[in-house]
Chains A and B, each alone.
Chain A
């Protein structure tokens, strides 16, 4: 008899008596001649009995199992063994010890606490991971920002320092200028207290003052005035005006160009003093006002109602 193909489903139908007589004879012979078929037949038969014990059979398979398969004492004995073996496995815990449930979704749903615990742990891990990543990102950005701030603050700091230096320099210059002005003021005060001569006192760093003595113009016309030469760079021209003996009042002076009526300079109150048996008064006029030409200084006593009483004519010539 030629060997033909078979599978577990065919063997199952063979055991349940659902094949033709011809097919039954073929498989009967195969059981004797084919060791592999014989072993497979035993395995399928054992699994069939276990399926019945585990309530896995239904419909026509269950009906045929009861009506056809379980007819012999030997098969019923196998069924008894299968039930006892199942009971032994369950009672000894061998099923729980040896069972492997790699992908039984029913086991997962039968242990909800384990499922939710794993899910919660997974969620926590995910959240922790997200937080770590975002915090790392934030710290990196902060570090970059800090570095950028450091880079931008340096020029600013340098600018501020430069400004500070410039300010300090300016303050120093101002302080020096203030000291200079103070010194000049002090010199002027000293000069006012000292007798003045028609000379140019030019101290380094001080004002340049030219001194001249002027005699009063006689009341009669015809007397020409003095000619003075003002050196270049002169700041002030100091005039010592001689007065008639006995003149003791307080005077005021006005500088006018000769022939003009508009005063180009007016003095304050002028005191008189004695000098070489005469009475004199002194005044100082900025040299810039004395361009070459004729001028007259008109001196009038404050107490007098008569107006100009003394006139001093002079001519300024270029030097």
Chain B
């Protein structure tokens, strides 16, 4: 077996232990206990990064990146020469390049995925999916806190200039900045997306 391949197999064979995971969380918190939020935020950014690079499996690549960070922490015990964000970004670029070499060109792969996804369902099935999706989303919005539900509906109400005016008025009414309002809305939307995904996968 090629030494490089052995090293890759050894790297991929490494598993994230609870201790390593806790060390990773602590490293992300940088002394301030965030309850795992920093880790989740970094994982989300990694996922979006790989998604922007048109990777088929952005979640897996994000986990791979975080595993490598955790392993490096175990091996080196500390990584003080850079920030967690910069280190994760640098490592993510390496993971992406490796992914390109292993999976071939992304465009052809994605095209095949696109073709497969569009050809696999009939009109009736699509309609059923659509109805189920709507029911799930209704359920997910009902699970939201009433204030958050009202906020997300008002945030996306209207079109074009009206939508902007509505958001300004909403921010004024809530006593927050437009930026803070968009952050709140994005988080609620992300929560709904996750809830819908879980509901559809049941």
Contacts and interface: CB of A to CB of B under 8 A. Distances in A.
B89 A32 contact: yes
- Please indicate which of the listed interface residues A50, A85, A88, A97 has the most CB atoms of chain B within 10 Å of its own CB: A85
A103 interface: yes
Interface stretch (B5-13, B15-23, B69-77, B131-139): B131-139
B58 A74 contact: yes
Interface string A81-95: 100111111011011
Nearest to B162: A104
B25 interface: no
A32 B45 CA distance: 7
Interface residues of B, number: 53
A15 to B, nearest CB: 8
B186 A46 contact: yes
Contact of B133 (A29, A36, A72, A84): A84
Contacts of B110: 71-72
Given A43-B185, A84-B137, A98-B150, A78 B193 contact: yes
Grouping DSSP codes into helix (H, G, I), strand (E, B) and loop, the A interface class, with mixed when no group exceeds half, is: helix
Contacts of B47: 74
A87 B137 CA distance: 10
Contacts of A244: none
A85 B156 contact: yes
- Please indicate which of the listed interface residues A74, A89, A91 has the most CB atoms of chain B within 10 Å of its own CB: A74
Contacts of B143: none
B58 A39 contact: no
A97 B157 CA distance: 9
A40 interface: yes
Nearest to A25: B93
A75 interface: yes
Contacts of A94: 153, 157
A42 B186 contact: yes
A54 B159 contact: yes
A99 interface: yes
Contacts, number: 120
Contact of B83 (A33, A41, A99, A102): A33
A28 B189 CA distance: 22
Contact of B85 (A33, A76, A95, A101): A33
A36 B197 CA distance: 27
A42 B58 CA distance: 16
A89 B160 contact: no
B114 A71 contact: yes
B162 A28 contact: no
A102 B49 CA distance: 39
A84 B169 contact: no
A33 B51 contact: no
Given A31-B45, A85-B156, A75 B51 contact: yes
A74 B137 CA distance: 17
Interface string B78-113: 000001011011001100000000000001001001
A43 B169 contact: no
B117 interface: yes
Nearest to B155: A98
- Please indicate which of the listed interface residues A43, A91, A103 has the most CB atoms of chain B within 10 Å of its own CB: A43
Given A36-B179, A39-B183, A74-B51, A99 B197 contact: no
A316 B88 CA distance: 170
Contacts of A176: none
Interface string B145-180: 000001001101111111001100100000000010
A56 interface: yes
A73 B56 contact: yes
B161 to A, nearest CB: 7
B182 interface: yes
A39 B89 contact: no
